[in-house]
Amino acid sequence: MDKKRILVVDDDTAILRLLSTNLKARGYEVLTATDGEEALETVQKEYIDLIILDIMMPKVDGVQVCRHIREWSDIPIIILSARGDENDKVKCLELGADDYLTKPFGIAELMARINTAFRHRGDASVAPAQSSFTCDGLEINFAKRRVTVKGKEITLTPTEYALLQQLAVNSDKVLTHSMLLHSVWGNEYSSEKEYLRVFVGRLRRKLEPDPKNPRYIHTIPGVGYHLATS
Amino acid sequence: MKGKESILVVDDDLDFLKIIKRILENKNYEVDTAPSANEGTCRLKERFYNAAILDISLPDADGTELLSRCLDIHPDIVAIMLTGHSSVQNAVQSLNRGAFAYLEKPLDTETLLSVINRGLEKQRLVLENRSLMEELEQRNRITNTLLSVSQAVSESLDLQQIVDSSLEKVAYYTGIKASFIYLYENDRLVLKGTHGLSPRQSAQMAKEIQKDSGIIWRIFRQAKPIIIDDFTNLTDKNLEPLKKKTRQSFGGIPLSILGESIGVMGVVTSDTNHEMTDNNIELLTGIGREITIAVRNAQLYEAASSAKALQELDNMRTEFLANVSHELRTPLAVIKGSANSLLQSDVIFDESTRQYFLQSIDKDADTLTRLVDDLLMMSRLEAEALEVKRKLCKLSEVIETIQDRLDNLTVKHQLQVNIPDDLPSVNIDDIRIGQVLTNLVENAVKFSDDNTNIRIEAESNDKDIIVSVTDQGSGIPPEIHEKIFERFFQGNGSKAGRRKGTGLGLAICRGIIEAHGGKIWVESQPDQGARFTFSLPLN
């Protein structure tokens, strides 16, 4: 199997080197960029499997990089930020980042999050037994990882897809916050409720005819979510 | 009800005068009589009469001549000429000259009274029309004046300019020469401007009027004008400087709008032409309202500007906190990440990589220490609690103690140190000055390319030693030469891959140098390098 390529973007060379050393030691191929502009150039030129992106950078900052990339690509993005502000976190997730890690961080934690991102990207083992799901205009073809609403194809990021798949496979069952966080992201995310809120919001904006009055994904306040077939 | 209407009768026939006086007084007129033209003229000069009954042939003058004098003195008087048969010609002439009517002797009482009645009726209409006209003109004048004042004072948002131009306009439009304005600030009235006062008077005016003291405060509190026709004998210490030996009137106009007072305008006049009539008070009150609006606008503008300045400071602080968080977390991330890497059991790193992780930990622990020092130093400077432990030392010794650190900083640059041997010793805190030099060199490194020169130089004159750090880096645009010494200020243009800093370095340098009684400044142009210089007094 080919090595997975990770682009690490940070304006601090010490961080860049720390990350490259660790990623390379774990079998990844690593590209680096020291500012947003360079990052965008690299993403356009090279094939990249995942991006680890710093927020505070000269020229084009991480938030803008994230926004630009999401305009044309669903490549997984893990934000690595020196700002611990909850608002920043939600903002980045809203913009389409898949994950958000605050500096300082543990190497094992970072590796786990990279694995989660790759898992969402289509590890065959998580594909469900059924081949498709249909509900009132929403169709999911699990084999092809293809989603359409009233015949129109919808582009989802891997994490969005993983969340939708989980809801669809368990349609009409209420899935609690912790069940969803555990099954879609992993054990270490059990307290990250805002991830769920943001990603459900992202899904609704892409799938629902009226995101404010959702037809498919319903909120059960204080408990969790369910995808209703009728 | 108005008083009686008055009639003057001039005739040389004294019996006639008596009879006619009685008849007219019976009809409730006020009657004076005069037996000659001269005496009649005197009476006319003394007071106003509504009507005059004049004999056309008087011993000392022709009746028509008296008529002319009479109309000169009182153009609105109802003049009735009395004639004999022979002088009808004269009577007609009199009508041409402005008499209201002529009557032939012997008089028919009914006819006389009816003529007087008609004459006075017509006069009442004329006078009423005229006063309406005058009032209209006065209104017009007030409106135009207010418009002009309003335009003049609303041209500026500068409080002082508004006050000065208001007083000038009051003088221009009302003729009142002496005036002043107090505005309310923090529970007292503050003198903001005077006009037409002598320098001595201006100097003696109370700069501030405390709460509940004197007439001016009362005008302010009640938001009602107060007029004092003659204040020579008044004892109010705030008006004392305005007094003269002659009689003067004072008018105090509240500067208020919608019941809210913001100050008081005072005017003083000794000129009887500019006495405080109702019209004047109304005009001044109107002007006061216009001034109030302009002052209010200026105050609101000032408040908004200072709110904006506070907002800017707040934004800088927020950015500072974000930067500090970033600056602390970045070396922490390196330290934790490096230590953490060594602790992972899934990967065994080779010896040189392990060494590299350890060095990273060591280096960034130092970075963190310096950062914490900077933050502490800044909070000491802000609390003005920076301790300067002075001792006499040589600059070259200061540089020796920081030489290792400077060498580390400038591994990719050429550092040149040029200190004359005969540079006098100076009384300084060597550690702090060492910090300043380190900071300046660190900045020079941050903002210039590898392999360029960084020079430390020094010279002295009678008063100071002058030390400079010069680089060949990206330079600093002139518009931020002052700003870069402000705390939290972040310049652009540091090279990618370098940490941004807290925006405190130069603020700390300035704090330290100023604590030594010296100055620090920069000379630079974009792309032409920068030269930071500081002076340290020899005494």
Q: The domain that contains B120 carries what CATH number?
A: 3.40.50.2300
B63 DSSP assignment? H
Instruction: Compute the half-sphere exposure of residue B92: CA atoms within 13 Å on the CB side of its CA.
Output: 5
Helix spans in B190-270 (H):
199-204, 214-222
Are B329 and A108 inside 8 Å of each other by CB?
A: no
Do residues B397 and B514 share a domain? Answer: yes
- Quick one: pLDDT band at residue B275, thresholds 50, 70, 90? low
Using a CB-CB cut-off of 8 Å, the residues of chain B touching A18 are 333-334, 337-338, 341, 357, 360
Bond into A104 cis (ω within 30): yes
* B335 has a chain A CB within 8 A of its CB: yes
Q: What is the share, in percent, of chain A residues with pLDDT greater than 90?
A: 32
**What residue has token string 């590299």?**
B356
The mean per-residue pLDDT over the stretch B369-377 comes to: 83
Q: Specify the higher pLDDT residue, B372 or B92.
A: B372
Strand pairing of B51-55 and A138-141? unpaired
> If residue B249 lies in a helix (H) or strand (E), which one and from where to where?
strand B249-257
- Per DSSP, the three-state class of B108 is coil
User: Counting Cβ atoms within 10 Å, is residue B524 exposed (0-12), middle (13-18) or buried (19+)?
Assistant: buried
Do residues A154 and A103 share a domain? Answer: no
Q: What is the pLDDT of residue B352?
A: 92
Q: Could you give the dihedral angle defined by the CA atoms of residues A108, A109, A115 and A121, in that order, rounded to the nearest 10 degrees?
A: -160
Tokens matching residue B134: 């005058």
CATH code of the domain in which B178 resides: 3.30.450.40
| Dihedrals phi, psi of B493, to nearest 5 degrees | 90, 0
Do residues B171 and B283 share a domain? Answer: yes
CATH code of the domain in which A150 resides: 1.10.10.10
Q: Name the residue among B115, B30, B43 with its Cα closest to residue B81.
A: B115
B503 DSSP assignment? S
User: Using CA atoms, how far apart are residues B253 and B93, in angstroms rounded to an integer?
Assistant: 55
> B185-221: per-residue pLDDT in tens?
888 999 999 998 888 888 888 888 888 888 999 999 9
User: Counting Cβ atoms within 10 Å, is residue A210 exposed (0-12), middle (13-18) or buried (19+)?
Assistant: exposed
Domain boundary among A64, A97, A120: A120
* A21 has a chain B CB within 8 A of its CB: yes
Domain boundary among B293, B326, B356: B293
Do residues B271 and B393 share a domain? Answer: no
Residues B30, B5: contact at Cβ < 8 Å? yes
> B452-468: per-residue pLDDT in tens?
999 999 999 989 999 99
Is the confidence at residue A39, as pLDDT, over 50? yes
> If residue A225 lies in a helix (H) or strand (E), which one and from where to where?
strand A224-227
Are A82 and B333 inside 8 Å of each other by CB?
A: yes
Query: Does residue B411 lie in a domain region?
Result: yes
Q: What is the share, in percent, of chain A residues with pLDDT greater than 70?
A: 96
Is the confidence at residue A66, as pLDDT, over 80? yes
B171 DSSP assignment? H
Residue B472 lies in domain: 386-537
Do residues B262 and B390 share a domain? Answer: no
Do residues A66 and A163 share a domain? Answer: no
Are A84 and B335 inside 8 Å of each other by CB?
A: no
Using a CB-CB cut-off of 8 Å, the residues of chain A touching B500 are 56, 58
Do residues A26 and A80 share a domain? Answer: yes
- Quick one: pLDDT band at residue B497, thresholds 50, 70, 90? very low
CATH code of the domain in which A59 resides: 3.40.50.2300
Query: Does residue B365 lie in a domain region?
Result: no
End-to-end alpha-carbon separation of chain B, Å?
Answer: 90
Q: Specify the higher pLDDT residue, B97 or B470.
A: B470
User: Would the pTM of this model clear 0.80, i.e. be above it?
Assistant: no
Residue of B nearest to A82 (CA): B326
- Quick one: pLDDT band at residue B317, thresholds 50, 70, 90? confident
Do residues B156 and B49 share a domain? Answer: no
In single-letter form, the type of residue at position A89 comes to K
Query: Does residue B144 lie in a domain region?
Result: no
User: Counting Cβ atoms within 10 Å, is residue B496 exposed (0-12), middle (13-18) or buried (19+)?
Assistant: middle
**For chain A, how many structural domains are there in total?**
2
Do residues B408 and B530 share a domain? Answer: yes
> B332-371: per-residue pLDDT in tens?
999 999 999 998 888 889 999 999 999 999 988 988 887 8
> B126-144: per-residue pLDDT in tens?
888 988 888 888 778 778 8
Angle ∠(B353,B359,B360) on CA atoms, nearest 5: 90
Q: Specify the higher pLDDT residue, B241 or B324.
A: B241
Question: How many residue pairs bridge chain A and chain B with CB atoms within 8 Å of each other?
Answer: 90
User: Given 3-state DSSP classes, what are the helix, strand and coil percentages for chain A, each rounded to the nearest 5?
Assistant: 45, 20, 35
Query: Does residue B143 lie in a domain region?
Result: no
Q: How far is the alpha carbon of B389 from chain A, nearest alpha carbon, in Å?
A: 37
Q: What is the pLDDT of residue B272?
A: 59
Tokens matching residue A44: 């356009």
Domain boundary among A78, A98, A120: A120
Do residues A132 and A198 share a domain? Answer: yes
Query: Does residue B319 lie in a domain region?
Result: no
> B106-117: per-residue pLDDT in tens?
888 888 899 999
Do residues A103 and A116 share a domain? Answer: yes
**Which range, A58-62, B102-106, B350-354, has the best average confidence (pLDDT)?**
B350-354
* A101 has a chain B CB within 8 A of its CB: no
Annotate B195-220 with b (16+ C-beta within 10 A) or e (fewer).
bbbeeebeeebbeebeeebbbbbbbb
Residue A210 lies in domain: 125-227
Q: Name the residue among B424, B461, B463, B453 with its Cα closest to residue B531.
A: B453
CA distances from B160 to B163, B182, B220 (A): 5, 12, 20
Q: What is the pLDDT of residue B184?
A: 92
Q: Specify the higher pLDDT residue, B46 or B373.
A: B46
Q: What is the pLDDT of residue B500?
A: 57
Do residues B114 and B164 share a domain? Answer: no
> B473-482: per-residue pLDDT in tens?
988 888 889 8
Do residues A112 and A132 share a domain? Answer: no
Using a CB-CB cut-off of 8 Å, the residues of chain B touching A16 are 497
| Lowest-confidence pick of B273-277, B423-427, B524-528 | B273-277
Using a CB-CB cut-off of 8 Å, the residues of chain B touching A35 are 496
Bond into B526 cis (ω within 30): no
Is the confidence at residue A52, as pLDDT, over 90? yes
Do residues A199 and A214 share a domain? Answer: yes
Query: Does residue B69 lie in a domain region?
Result: yes
- Quick one: pLDDT band at residue B411, thresholds 50, 70, 90? very high
Tokens matching residue B416: 């040149």
- Quick one: pLDDT band at residue B103, thresholds 50, 70, 90? confident
CATH code of the domain in which B444 resides: 3.30.565.10
- Quick one: pLDDT band at residue B285, thresholds 50, 70, 90? confident
**What residue has token string 């958000």?**
A100
In single-letter form, the type of residue at position A153 comes to E
Angle ∠(B157,B163,B167) on CA atoms, nearest 5: 140
The mean per-residue pLDDT over the stretch B472-500 comes to: 74
Q: What is the pLDDT of residue B494?
A: 52
Do residues B166 and B52 share a domain? Answer: no
**What residue has token string 């660190």?**
B442
Tokens matching residue A111: 């590796």
Strand pairing of A29-33 and A5-9? parallel
ipTM reported for the complex, 2 dp: 0.72
> If residue B69 lies in a helix (H) or strand (E), which one and from where to where?
helix B63-73
Domain boundary among B250, B268, B293: B293
- Quick one: pLDDT band at residue B271, thresholds 50, 70, 90? low
Tokens matching residue A211: 């995101």
User: Using CA atoms, how far apart are residues B86 and B105, in angstroms rounded to an integer?
Assistant: 11
Q: How many CB atoms lie within 10 A of CB B336?
A: 19
In single-letter form, the type of residue at position A219 comes to T
Is the confidence at residue B492, as pLDDT, over 70? no
Is the confidence at residue A97, as pLDDT, over 80? yes
**What residue has token string 């310049």?**
B491
> A127-182: per-residue pLDDT in tens?
666 788 888 889 998 888 889 999 899 988 888 988 999 899 888 888 888 888 88
Domain boundary among A95, A120, A145: A120
Do residues A181 and A88 share a domain? Answer: no
* A37 has a chain B CB within 8 A of its CB: no
Q: What is the pLDDT of residue B496?
A: 45
Q: What is the pLDDT of residue B257?
A: 81
Residue to substitute from B325, B371, B447, B499, interface A, most A β-carbons within 10 A = B325
Do residues B122 and B180 share a domain? Answer: no
Do residues A206 and A172 share a domain? Answer: yes
Query: Does residue B336 lie in a domain region?
Result: no
Query: Does residue B105 lie in a domain region?
Result: yes
User: Using CA atoms, how far apart are residues A30 and A15, in angstroms rounded to an integer?
Assistant: 13
Nearest CB partner across the interface for A84, out of B325, B335, B498: B325
Do residues B124 and B189 share a domain? Answer: no
Do residues A152 and A91 share a domain? Answer: no
Using a CB-CB cut-off of 8 Å, the residues of chain A touching B360 are 14, 17-18
Nearest CB partner across the interface for B347, out of A26, A56, A106: A26
Do residues A9 and A62 share a domain? Answer: yes
Are B326 and A82 inside 8 Å of each other by CB?
A: yes
Do residues A41 and A67 share a domain? Answer: yes
Q: What is the pLDDT of residue B493?
A: 54
| Lowest-confidence pick of A193-207, B259-273, B383-397 | B259-273
The mean per-residue pLDDT over the stretch A97-111 comes to: 90
**For chain B, how many structural domains are there in total?**
3
Helix spans in B98-247 (H):
109-153, 159-174, 199-204, 214-222
Q: How many CB atoms lie within 10 A of CB B372?
A: 11
Is the confidence at residue B171, as pLDDT, over 80? yes
